Copies of this chain bind each other. A is one copy, B any other.
Amino acid sequence: MTDKQRHSWVSIRDSIREMILNSTYGPGDKLPRDEEFAASFGCARSTVHRAMRDLAQSGLVERRRKGGTMVRRDPVTRATLNIPITRLEVEQKGSTYGYQLIRQSVQPSSPAIMANFDLPEARPMLRVEALHLADSRPYIFEDRWICLETVPEITSVDLTRESANEWLVRNRPYSRCDLRLYARPGTPIDSEVLQSTPGDALFVMERTTWIGEAPITSLCAVAHPGYQLFTQG
């Protein structure tokens, strides 16, 4: 360690977090300017900035140019959810992956999909219903709508051979993602598609993604009974 002790952005982040957690700064409070923190920690403004960016990303504070930094009023537990490509998930379980395109058609977005995307008017979309299988048994059924204005090239993809899920993860990055997760009893249609019993507890994941302001896809994925979504981070 040199005479000039160099500050760690990590230790500065942790010090600021500690001041928030011990209520030196409470919810809604303005924090000192980066410059002021730099002076009091004896480091560079960019080091404070690096620490603050991390705190903002983890949901503890919010930042605004000129407006300054504020402790968030609504602290949350933030976790990163990694949603795997279904084929890789199945293969990682040691099972054999199968895929069936049930039907696809171009149609205007339904009211539910318009609501998910917050669209004032219907847009032309490709609706894809497909079944993912593990060892020839139904694994996940997905009902997906893809916006043709944002992803016109999806019409050239052979979705009998490759799932839209996989194509989109590989080809269409998103910048925003809404998630709705819940349990519901299986309907007769669910039971037919998933070969389960009506009334079974089914895990449902609805996901809507955008790139910038442009809607990409909105899907409802219904998993077979017993499915668990597991993520580490």
Binding site for B on A (CB under 8 A): 17, 21, 59, 74-85, 88, 169-174, 176-185, 199-204, 207, 209, 223, 225-233
Contact = CB atoms under 8 A, between A and B. Distances in A.
Nearest to A209: B77
A154 to B, nearest CB: 14
Contacts of A174: 77
B169 A75 contact: yes
B82 A81 contact: no
Given A88-B74, A201-B184, A79 B230 contact: no
B81 A81 contact: yes
B170 A75 contact: yes
A178 B231 contact: yes
Contact of A84 (B21, B76, B181): B76
A182 B229 contact: yes
Nearest to A184: B201
A181 B207 contact: no
A79 B17 contact: no
B169 A77 contact: yes
Q: Give me the 4 closest cross-chain CB pairs, A-B, nearest first.
A: A183-B183, A201-B201, A183-B203, A77-B83
A75 B81 contact: no
A79 B169 CA distance: 12
B76 A79 contact: no
Max chain B CB contacts within 10 Å: which of A77, A88, A174?
Answer: A77
Contacts of A231: 178-180
B177 A203 contact: no
Nearest to A172: B21
A170 B75 CA distance: 7
